[in-house]
Structure 1
Amino acid sequence: MKTEPGECSIDDVMNAPGRTVSWFGVRNYQARNFMRDAMRPGDAVLFYHSSCPHPGVAGIARIASGPHPDECQFDANSGYYDLKSSREAPRWVAVDVEGLIKIPLVPIAELRARPELSGMRILQRGNRLSITPVTKEEFRFIADHLIQFPRD
Structure 2
Amino acid sequence: MRQYWLMKSEPDECSIDDALAAPVATVSWTGVRNYQARNFMRDAMQVGDGVLFYHSSCAQPGVVGIARVASGTRPDPTQFDAASPYFDAASKPDDPRWLLLDVQALRKTRVLGLPELRAAPSLAEMVVLRRGNRLSITPVTTAEWALIDGTLLSR
CA-CA distance at 1:28 after TM superposition? 0.5
Higher relative contact order (Cα pairs below 8 Å, separated by 6+ residues):
2
Amino acid at match of 2:21: N
- Encode CA deviations 1:47-95: one digit per residue, 9 max, x unaligned: 0111111111100000000011001011111111111111110000001
Residue number in structure 1 paired with 2:4: none
Residue number in structure 2 paired with 1:90: 96
Residue number in structure 2 paired with 1:108: 114
Paired with 1:7 and 1:79, the residues of 2 have a C-alpha distance of: 12
1:51 to 53, 57, 61: 57
1:123 matches 2:129: yes
1:2 matches 2:8: yes
Residue number in structure 2 paired with 1:81: 87
Q: What TM-score, normalized to structure 2? A: 0.94
CA-CA distance at 1:30 after TM superposition? 0.6
Give 3-state SS (helix, strand or coil) of 2:105's partner: strand
Paired with 2:126 and 2:154, the residues of 1 have a C-alpha distance of: 20
Cα RMSD (Å) = 1.0
CA-CA distance at 1:144 after TM superposition? 1.7
CA-CA distance at 1:148 after TM superposition? 2.3
Q: What TM-score, normalized to structure 1? A: 0.95
Instruction: Calculate percent identity across the aligned residue pairs.
Output: 60
Residue number in structure 1 paired with 2:69: 63
Matched residue count: 149
Give 3-state SS (helix, strand or coil) of 1:34's partner: helix
2:105 to 76, 99, 103: 99
1:72 matches 2:78: yes
Paired with 1:147 and 1:88, the residues of 2 have a C-alpha distance of: 43
Name the structure with the higher strand share. Answer: 2
- Encode CA deviations 1:8-44: one digit per residue, 9 max, x unaligned: 1100000011100000000000111111111000000
1:16 to 22, 32, 38: 22
1:133 matches 2:139: yes
**Runs of 4+ residues deviating >3 angstroms:** none
Give 3-state SS (helix, strand or coil) of 1:8's partner: coil
Amino acid at match of 2:29: W
